[in-house]
């Protein structure tokens, strides 16, 4: 029996999409619908789980199973679901406030457990749904409704946190860079273990253009370096610049006076996240920001696999439990 061939439209639910016109979320939704048919998992085997925020409306727009849960906790629902139903493909849709502020604890724990799910973190560096307060990824000095004199907190970098938790798949893409986004989502879906994709997403209402340096075609190639495994880090409109590792730091060099052989070769498979962390720490405007897969380490057992293996092992070693035997075991006595 051949499986029906699905198209992007088959993944659209009947619900009207209610993001603001021009929101970067539309692009992510479109790429997801485009990529899922290519992955080939039947719709009924896919579950989208989200927290709270603009991004978290995402599950309502997918014709799969879905849960719009509570703020920051999507990874927890995903953990219970995937641990008991490893046959399902589970996606967590979250944002910078949802994953990094209220849900920071769950975010690091799901990553370190390596549950076999995919997390897409829409990073727009602002609270959109609550109308414009600064978020944990807002830049220092950013003036928002809740920071009239500028934000004073140092922003969090989701990739650094993920690498710090030694997540097995860490990537970044950009809403407006649709081919790259689609390919990155596909790589995330194919990875066994927790995959994190940070997506630079423009909030055109409350934080318009905050990441224009990376989103806009005219600026992107100067400000972003696309990572490819086994390839040297080269960027620039003319592909005339590269990244070199000197001692324990990275520097931008001109290919006019530095041979390509001197450039850092990207190794996404290195289990040691040290150099990947250096890449994550490259921030605009001092350095180009990396997009693509920073880290993809295979062969690490997943949480869901192990929790089920222990159950199987116990059943094999001790036989299927018999409750009547259990409650009748140990010291008992008979009353006549």
Partner 1 sequence: MTKILSETGSGKTIHTVSGITVRLCGDSGDGMQLLGTQLTNTSALAGNDVATFPDFPAEIRAPRGTRAGVSGFQLQFASEEIFTPGDLLDALVVMNPAALVTNIGDLRKGGILIANEDGFNDKEFKLAKLDSNPLEGDILEQSYRVFKVPMTRLTRDAVSELGLSNKEAERCKNFFAMGLVYWLFGRSLEPTLRFINDKFGKKLPEVARANEAALRAGWAYGETTEAFGLSYQVEAAHLEPGTYRNIMGNQALAWGLLAAASLSGKELFYSTYPITPASDILHELTRFKNFGVRTFQAEDEIAACGAAIGAAFGGGMGVTASSGPGIALKAEAMGLGVMLELPMVVINVQRGGPSTGLPTKTEQSDLLQAMFCRNGEAPLPILAPRSPGDCFAVAIEAWRIAVECMTPVMILSDGYIANGSEPWKIPDLTHFPRINITHPTDSGAAGGPFMPYARDENLARPWAIPGTPDLMHRVGGLEKEDRTGNISYDPANHQHMVNTRARKIDEIAERVAPQDVYGKTSGDILLVSWGGTYGACHTAVRQCQKAGLSISHAHLRYLNPMPSNIGELLKSFKTVLVAELNSGQLRMLLRAKYLVDCVGINKVQGKPFTVHELVDQIKAHALPHQAEAVHHKAG
Q: Which residues bind partner 1 (CB under 8 A)?
A: 13, 15, 42-47, 49, 52, 59-60, 62-70, 73, 75-85, 87-88, 105-106, 109, 307-308, 310-311, 313-315, 317-321, 323-324, 326-328, 330-336
Min CB(27)–partner 1 separation in Å? 21
The residues, any chain, with a CB within 8 Å of residue 193's CB and separated by 6 or more, are 114, 115, 116, 167, 168, 169, 297, 298, 300, 302
Query: Of 149 and 334, which CB lies nearer to partner 1 in the complex structure?
Result: 334
Q: Which of 53, 163, 47, 161 has its CA nearest to residue 105?
A: 161
Min CB(133)–partner 1 separation in Å? 20
Min CB(268)–partner 1 separation in Å? 27
Min CB(28)–partner 1 separation in Å? 17
Query: Of 299 and 319, which CB lies nearer to partner 1 in the complex structure?
Result: 319
Min CB(307)–partner 1 separation in Å? 5
Dihedral (CA of 102, 106, 112, 114) sign: negative
Query: Of 109 and 284, which CB lies nearer to partner 1 in the complex structure?
Result: 109
Min CB(262)–partner 1 separation in Å? 43
Query: Of 15 and 140, which CB lies nearer to partner 1 in the complex structure?
Result: 15
Q: Residue for token digits 């860490």?
A: 170
Min CB(165)–partner 1 separation in Å? 12
From residue 247, give the alpha-carbon distance in Å to each of 42, 244, 250: 48, 10, 8
Min CB(41)–partner 1 separation in Å? 11
Query: Of 27 and 76, which CB lies nearer to partner 1 in the complex structure?
Result: 76
From residue 23, give the alpha-carbon distance in Å to each of 19, 29, 221, 251: 6, 11, 22, 34
Token output for 198: 């940070």
Query: Of 179 and 317, which CB lies nearer to partner 1 in the complex structure?
Result: 317
Query: Of 59 and 290, which CB lies nearer to partner 1 in the complex structure?
Result: 59
The residues, any chain, with a CB within 8 Å of residue 143's CB and separated by 6 or more, are 149, 150, 151
Helix, strand or coil, per DSSP, at residue 319: coil
Please compute Rg for the chain using Cα positions.
23
Query: Of 59 and 136, which CB lies nearer to partner 1 in the complex structure?
Result: 59
Token output for 284: 């605009």
Q: Residue for token digits 């969090």?
A: 156
Q: How is 180-215 classified by DSSP, letter by letter? A: HHHHHHHHHHHSSS-EEEEEE---TTTSTTTTHHHH
Q: What is the 8-class DSSP label of residue 19?
A: S
Token output for 50: 């989200």
CB 88 within 8 A of CB 54: no
From residue 333, give the alpha-carbon distance in Å to each of 192, 323, 330, 336: 52, 18, 10, 10
Min CB(68)–partner 1 separation in Å? 3
Query: Of 74 and 279, which CB lies nearer to partner 1 in the complex structure?
Result: 74
């Amino acid at each position: 029996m051949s499986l029906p061939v699905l198209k992007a439209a088959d993944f659209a639910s009947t619900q009207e999409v209610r993001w603001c016109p021009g929101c970067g979320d539309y692009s992510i939704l479109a790429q997801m619908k485009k990529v899922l048919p290519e992955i080939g998992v039947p719709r009924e085997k896919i579950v989208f789980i989200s927290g709270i925020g603009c991004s978290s409306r995402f599950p309502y727009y997918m014709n799969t199973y879905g849960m719009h849960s509570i703020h920051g906790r999507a990874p927890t629902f995903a953990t219970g679901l995937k641990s008991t139903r490893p046959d399902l493909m589970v996606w967590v849709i979250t944002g910078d406030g949802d994953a990094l502020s209220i849900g920071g604890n769950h975010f690091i724990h799901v990553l370190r457990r390596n549950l076999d799910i995919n997390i897409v973190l829409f990073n727009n560096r602002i609270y959109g749904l609550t109308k414009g307060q600064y978020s944990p990824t807002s830049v220092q000095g950013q003036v928002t409704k809740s920071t009239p004199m500028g934000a004073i907190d140092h922003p969090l970098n989701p990739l650094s946190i993920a690498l710090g938790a030694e997540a097995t798949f860490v990537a970044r893409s950009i809403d407006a860079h649709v081919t790259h986004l689609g390919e990155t989502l596909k790589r995330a879906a194919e990875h066994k273990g927790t995959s994190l994709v940070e997506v630079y997403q423009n909030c055109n209402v409350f934080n318009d253009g905050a990441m224009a340096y990376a989103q806009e075609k005219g600026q992107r190639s100067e400000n972003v370096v696309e990572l490819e495994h086994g390839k040297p880090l080269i960027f620039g409109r003319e592909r005339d610049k590269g990244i070199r590792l000197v001692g324990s730091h990275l520097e931008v060099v001109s290919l006019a006076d530095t041979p390509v052989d001197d450039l850092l070769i990207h190794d996404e498979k290195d289990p040691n996240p040290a150099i990947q962390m250096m890449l994550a720490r490259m921030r605009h405007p001092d350095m180009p920001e990396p997009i693509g897969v920073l880290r993809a380490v295979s062969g690490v057992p997943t949480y869901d696999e192990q929790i089920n293996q222990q159950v199987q092992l116990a059943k094999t070693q001790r036989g299927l439990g018999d409750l009547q035997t259990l409650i009748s075991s140990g010291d008992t006595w008979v009353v006549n």
